[in-house]
Chain A
Amino acid sequence: MKKEFLGYERPKGAPGVRNYVLIIPTVICSLGVATTTRRVLDQLGESRGMVRVLNNPFGCGQVGEDLEQTTRTLINTALNPNVYGAVVVSLGCESVDAERVAREIGTEKPVELVRVQDYGYGKSIERIKESVKRMVKEASKLQRRSFDVSELTIGLECGGSDWTSGLVSNPLVGRVSDMLIEAGGSSIISEVPEFIGAEHLYAKRAVNDKVRGDVMNAVRWYEEWLKREAKVDFRGAQPSPGNIAGGITTIEEKSLGAIKKSGTAPVKGVLKFAERIRDKGHYLMITPGYDVESVSGMVAGGAQLVLFTTGRGTPTGHVIAPVIKITANRDTCKVMNDFIDFCAADVLEGKRSIDQAANDLYELMINIANGKLTKAEELGQEDFGIFRIGPTF
């Protein structure tokens, strides 16, 4: 089992497995300026493949905890080890405090702030362009060097689950999580609605009573919120139509299969959405089961890579983190080979042991950490989402 990977050193915190310059619109109103600037840089050959834009659809008409959560997601995505530096693009009148976003990012890495209302469209693009070009030039000088795997944090995700997920691919991910935890690294599981019916099994592994209580409270909070807001039975959302066609009948059944991703490691704590992991170990983060948002929460929490199991098949990735797609469904391996990174159908067929598959997946994970692209990256999937917990004004 490899104990090292090749990463990019950062001035503060863990090393990255990628090296991006990130353009962050603090509100949807400045998203167009951000994407146009990126397009211009790409066309001029100035991006060197290192520039990304956070596809932020929010940032205004929000208050309270919900506004804080959106703000935290923007800041902590920029603080992910895979990001070299960021250019924050504000409109100038939005609910999100853009100065604060830039200030907090600036405590750990290079950052610049451009307000569209200060310059207009064309001059804003010019200023963002110059800042990004400067950062790309500096970031390009960095070379990968060797780090211990204990510097890795992985997100554990499932999406488009079916009957194969709980039987093979989730337990497989749980093995790899356990291997990394044992080597001193960290992992995050999320998707709290997919703990309903299985939370008691997970809570037993909490390191103390407080964490146990936090786990049970997180599930209870989410379940009560869903019942209050949805006013109808969960079937159709949890489980989804694809889950149902694929053999999963109830949320309890889905959850019992989903928690297998967490392996056996003790649970060190419960994180808010997009809250950064502080100490090493295994954590639960409060996110929806909604794939792009749950992955985004964990990446903002510090995950440099994500292990993502699927049954029905889904191509999603994340804008600044490699998402490794794993399935044990033979049909999905065949038909959707162009976005599956690891096929474990042979484990289900009894041709490869789960232990061998875990070693193979761990090895692939290290290769991807070292720079091998996931299929989602090759396909240009730049997914990003933010979990809303309040109304839009």
Chain B
Amino acid sequence: MPRALRIDSRDNVAVLLEDVKAGDLVEVVGQEVRDYVTAVQEIKQGHKIALVDIPKGSYVYKYGEPIGIATRDIKRGEHVHVHNLDSVRGKVMNV
């Protein structure tokens, strides 16, 4: 079974340790809690999968810290990357 690594218990994403296809059941490792999530789409090794629903405007957490804001509603099992996750610090507010 493909696995994804959850680095910190506060994280709402995990890092895929191998490529997955839509429908694959993924075992989430790294914390004591046993978790499984179904990938709803194809996601590449090393990319992030959502462990819970993440509403638009809320923080994505990895390493136990915020890494940015969801720019769309994200569903559990979705690929989390540049299309739905934006940096907070790396954005330039155009006046």
Which residues of chain A have a CB within 8 Å of any CB of chain B?
162-164, 166-167, 196-198, 201, 223, 227, 230-235, 238, 244, 246-247, 249-253, 256-257, 348
Write 14 A-B pairs (CB below 8 A) sorted by A numbering: A163-B15, A196-B89, A197-B67, A197-B87, A197-B89, A201-B65, A223-B89, A247-B47, A247-B48, A249-B67, A249-B82, A250-B88, A252-B67, A253-B67
- Residues on the A chain within 8 Å of B86, using CB: 250
Which chain A residue lies CB-closest to B62?
A253
- Residues on the A chain within 8 Å of B17, using CB: 348
Interchain nearest-CB distance for B49 vs A (Å): 11
Q: Which of A163, A201, A247, A253 contacts B68 (CB 8 A)?
A: A253
Main secondary structure, interface of B, reads loop
- Residues on the A chain within 8 Å of B63, using CB: 166, 253, 256-257
Number of A-B contacts (CB under 8 A): 85
Residues of B40-55 contacting chain A, CB below 8 A? 44-48
- Residues on the B chain within 8 Å of A167, using CB: 5, 7, 15
Interchain nearest-CB distance for B27 vs A (Å): 14
Interface centre among B45, B65, B90 (most CB of A within 10 A): B90
Which chain B residue lies CB-closest to A234?
B90
Interface centre among A162, A235, A244, A256 (most CB of B within 10 A): A256
Contact B62 A230 (CB under 8 A): no
Q: Which of B48, B67, B87 contacts A234 (CB 8 A)?
A: B87
Q: Which of A201, A230, A250, A348 contacts B85 (CB 8 A)?
A: A250
Q: Which of A196, A198, A232 contacts B65 (CB 8 A)?
A: A198
Contact A162 B46 (CB under 8 A): yes
Say yes or no: A249-B85 contact (C-beta < 8 A), given A163-B15, A233-B90, A234-B90: yes
Interchain nearest-CB distance for A165 vs B (Å): 10
- Residues on the B chain within 8 Å of A238, using CB: 90
Which chain B residue lies CB-closest to A228?
B92
Contact A227 B92 (CB under 8 A): yes
- Residues on the A chain within 8 Å of B47, using CB: 163, 247
Contact A249 B89 (CB under 8 A): no
Which chain B residue lies CB-closest to A219?
B89
Residues of B63-88 contacting chain A, CB below 8 A? 63, 65-68, 80-82, 85-88
Interface residue B91 (Cβ < 8 Å from any Cβ of A): yes
Q: Which of A198, A234, A249 contacts B81 (CB 8 A)?
A: A249
- Residues on the B chain within 8 Å of A196, using CB: 89-90
- Expressed in whole angstroms, the Cα–Cα distance for A198 and B88 within the complex equals 13
- Residues on the A chain within 8 Å of B88, using CB: 197, 250, 252
- Expressed in whole angstroms, the Cα–Cα distance for A348 and B29 within the complex equals 13
Residues of B1-57 contacting chain A, CB below 8 A? 5, 7, 15, 17, 44-48
- Expressed in whole angstroms, the Cα–Cα distance for A251 and B62 within the complex equals 12
Q: Which of B44, B87, B94 contacts A250 (CB 8 A)?
A: B87
Other than the given A163-B15, A250-B90, 20 more pairs (CB < 8 A) read: A167-B15, A197-B65, A197-B89, A198-B65, A201-B65, A230-B92, A231-B92, A231-B94, A234-B91, A235-B82, A247-B44, A247-B46, A247-B48, A249-B82, A249-B87, A250-B68, A252-B66, A252-B67, A252-B89, A256-B62
